[in-house]
Chain A
Amino acid sequence: MDGETQFLIELVTNGMLTGMMYALVAVGFVLIYKSTDAINFAQGEFCMIAAIFIASFVFLYGFPLWLSIIVVLVLMILFNVALERVVLRPMIGRPVVAIIMATIGLALMFRGLGPLLFGAETRPINLPIPDLPIIWGPLFMSPIDVLGAAISVIFLAGFGWFFLKSRIGVAMRAVADSHQVSMAMGINVERYFVIAWVLAGVVALLGGIVWGNAIGVDTQLAALGLKVFPVVILGGLDSIIGVVVGGIIVGVVEALAAGYLDPYVGGGTKDFTPYVLMILVLMVRPYGIFGKPIIERI
């Protein structure tokens, strides 16, 4: 294998690993969109705040990492139940924009809250993994990315099964399809909104751990929310398989841009190429690659 090919394969592989990690964050959008029709603009901030709490408990209060994760998981669940009950539920039936605005407010609140509580320095989340690169045939992969991708794949597969096969998952998709008809089937729609927000919180926590482990924890992590926008747009907001493919596409495009374009222009192309791709795709398929056009039939 010549050097060129190997370089390409390495870029693609690492792009795919990153892409899986993007997909994990993106699935949070899908959960909320599928059940409430709203876009949670605070999804990136959810990841950030979870990671900040975890890292701070470890570094400021000496918690073991596992304990810190469990404590934050519980906090996150309680917070999201309260959020749904107190803030979002009264907005049901009002224009979706109201919910979107509320999530934007939430996002800004989180950005202020993290540094306010724990200071603004960058802290690591150190998952127990070796530092040595993983060598597989001619490929070099970072163990952090491999672990991140592995965690992502496991949980995405879990969510996929949950949505497609479990009764609760089917009910959630029914709720997403029509609130009113779901109600008429005896589905307690409001309970499913809570479940969706709780799951979105749990995914955010996972995303925060994986990404915090990869790039460190501070308010910068919130940018993940915007980073995965091309992922959900490419994949379609309503499909888990979609976000996986969208994540992989974005990860690979970023890696290729960094590998081939950056040397010519001095860097930075990977930060915007996914958005260029997103706009191009939107022009051709307004509902994303995997998103379903709304079936209209009487």
Chain B
Amino acid sequence: MLKLNNVEVIYDSVILVLKGISIEVPDGKITTVLGANGAGKTTTLKAISGILRSERGEVTRGSIELDGNRIDNRAPHSIVKDGIVQVFEGRRVFGNLSAEENLVAGGHIVSKAKMRANMEKVYEYFPRIAERRDVISGYLSGGEQQMLAVGRALMSDPKLILLDEPSLGLAPMIIEEIWGIIRRLREEQNVTFLLVEQNATLALEIADYGYVMENGAVVLEGPAEQLRDNADIKEFYLGMSGEEKRSFRDVKHYRRRKRWLN
């Protein structure tokens, strides 16, 4: 179980981006974090994976715990060894490397034998990547690149995968395909997912539990089916009210939790 307690993140020593957020990611579940542009979703993932440090960001308050052990502000490679791996927004495949070489790089921390075995596993889950293993990944289609990015993450034997907007710019059919694979990975490999999305409909379709972020704070949370039915979410994120989109803060009946008020 991954637990964020009141995490505050500051970039460049002055820019306060996360204003104390608490999120729980139980093992074997798909947890989603929803929110508009700039809400702080990516920052949350980077805080967990330790990538924050390379962008001069820092967890300045609160704690991030994996199975009871503090992991905040640790180096990214040590976080990967603990079983957490981040799949970046915009896929970020190593464009000059072939698909297979991307997987080799993804399996950097495991033994050679394990790397081979994991590669076979990835090819089994993503037959399209297997077909295109020798293609320079910069030339793969967007959907293939997203699959490669997820496959590459699997190479390090993660317990938890942090997925940043995997649906971005992909056709509905491809997204369904990827969602199917994520479900299978959860069931067959017992991988836990923390899924960041702007597209609430898509995310709530697959997630067990969801958080809604705005302006660096969690403003709403609940089981996915409850969020799916929540009128405010519908209006703001699912665009079902037919009205113009408004900030979540302007929506009248939201149940903002007290501890986020300061």
Give 1 or 0 for each of B10-40: 1 = CB within 8 Å of chain A CB: 0000000000000000000000000000000
Stretch in B58-66, B101-109, B202-210, B211-219 touching the partner: B101-109
A290 to B155, CA, bound (A): 31
Residues from chain B with a CB closer than 8 A to the CB of A292 are: 96
Q: Is A220's CB within 8 Å of the partner chain B?
A: no
A144 to B208, CA, bound (A): 71
18 contacts between A and B (CB under 8 A): A167-B115, A173-B94, A173-B101, A173-B105, A174-B102, A176-B96, A180-B51, A183-B76, A183-B77, A184-B80, A184-B86, A185-B85, A187-B77, A187-B108, A188-B77, A294-B95, A295-B136, A298-B90
Chain B residues proximal to chain A, CB less than 8 Å? 49-51, 54, 56, 75-77, 80-81, 85-86, 88, 90, 92, 94-97, 101-102, 104-106, 108-109, 112, 115, 136, 138-139, 142, 145, 152, 155-156, 169
A295 to B140, CA, bound (A): 11
In the complex, what's the smallest C-beta–C-beta distance from B113 to chain A, in angstroms?
A: 12
Q: Is A171's CB within 8 Å of the partner chain B?
A: yes
Q: Is A179's CB within 8 Å of the partner chain B?
A: yes
Cβ contact within 8 Å between B156 and A186: yes
Cβ contact within 8 Å between A186 and B96: no
Residues from chain A with a CB closer than 8 A to the CB of B80 are: 184-186
Partner of B94 from the list A93, A178, A186, A298 (CB cut-off 8 Å) is A178
A294 to B109, CA, bound (A): 28
A295 to B85, CA, bound (A): 25
Cβ contact within 8 Å between A186 and B77: yes
Residues from chain A with a CB closer than 8 A to the CB of B145 are: 297
Q: If the complex has contacts A178-B92, A295-B95, A297-B95, are A184 and B108 also in contact, measured as CB distance less than 8 A?
A: no
Q: Is A262's CB within 8 Å of the partner chain B?
A: no
Q: Is A67's CB within 8 Å of the partner chain B?
A: no
A187 to B102, CA, bound (A): 12
A93 to B12, CA, bound (A): 13
Cβ contact within 8 Å between A298 and B97: no
Cβ contact within 8 Å between B156 and A185: yes
In the complex, what's the smallest C-beta–C-beta distance from B38 to chain A, in angstroms?
A: 19
Cβ contact within 8 Å between B51 and A177: no
Q: Is A157's CB within 8 Å of the partner chain B?
A: no
Q: If the complex has contacts A173-B101, A292-B96, are A186 and B90 also in contact, measured as CB distance less than 8 A?
A: no
Q: Nearest 5 CB-CB pairs, A to B?
A: A186-B80, A295-B138, A174-B105, A186-B109, A177-B94
Residues from chain A with a CB closer than 8 A to the CB of B97 are: 170, 173-174, 177
Residues from chain A with a CB closer than 8 A to the CB of B105 are: 170-171, 173-174, 182, 185, 187
Q: Is A181's CB within 8 Å of the partner chain B?
A: yes
A179 to B115, CA, bound (A): 21
Residues from chain A with a CB closer than 8 A to the CB of B138 are: 295, 297
Partner of A170 from the list B77, B104, B142 (CB cut-off 8 Å) is B104
Cβ contact within 8 Å between A295 and B51: no
A292 nearest CB neighbor, chain B only: B96
Q: How large is the interface on A (under 10, 10 to 19, 20 to 34, 35 or more residues)?
A: 20 to 34
Known A297-B145, A298-B142; further 13 A-B contacts with Cβ < 8 A: A167-B108, A167-B112, A170-B97, A170-B101, A174-B105, A177-B97, A185-B105, A185-B152, A186-B77, A187-B108, A295-B139, A297-B142, A298-B169
A297 nearest CB neighbor, chain B only: B138
Q: If the complex has contacts A93-B54, A167-B112, are A184 and B88 also in contact, measured as CB distance less than 8 A?
A: yes
Q: If the complex has contacts A170-B101, A173-B101, are A183 and B51 also in contact, measured as CB distance less than 8 A?
A: yes
B140 nearest CB neighbor, chain A only: A297
A177 to B91, CA, bound (A): 13
In the complex, what's the smallest C-beta–C-beta distance from B39 to chain A, in angstroms?
A: 21
In the complex, what's the smallest C-beta–C-beta distance from A65 to chain B, in angstroms?
A: 38
Q: If the complex has contacts A295-B95, A295-B138, are A184 and B104 also in contact, measured as CB distance less than 8 A?
A: no
Cβ contact within 8 Å between A184 and B51: yes
Partner of A186 from the list B92, B108, B142 (CB cut-off 8 Å) is B108
A178 to B91, CA, bound (A): 12
A179 to B96, CA, bound (A): 13
In the complex, what's the smallest C-beta–C-beta distance from A85 to chain B, in angstroms?
A: 16
In the complex, what's the smallest C-beta–C-beta distance from A96 to chain B, in angstroms?
A: 16
Cβ contact within 8 Å between B109 and A179: no
A292 to B95, CA, bound (A): 11
Q: If the complex has contacts A295-B96, A298-B142, are A186 and B101 also in contact, measured as CB distance less than 8 A?
A: no
Residues from chain A with a CB closer than 8 A to the CB of B86 are: 184
In the complex, what's the smallest C-beta–C-beta distance from A180 to chain B, in angstroms?
A: 5
A34 to B124, CA, bound (A): 32
A187 to B76, CA, bound (A): 8
B79 nearest CB neighbor, chain A only: A186
Q: If the complex has contacts A180-B51, A185-B105, A295-B138, are A173 and B96 also in contact, measured as CB distance less than 8 A?
A: yes
Give 1 or 0 for each of A90-103: 1 = CB within 8 Å of chain B CB: 00010000000000
B138 nearest CB neighbor, chain A only: A295
Residues from chain B with a CB closer than 8 A to the CB of A187 are: 77, 105, 108
B137 nearest CB neighbor, chain A only: A295
Give 1 or 0 for each of A260-297: 1 = CB within 8 Å of chain B CB: 00000000000000000000000000000000101101
A183 to B88, CA, bound (A): 12
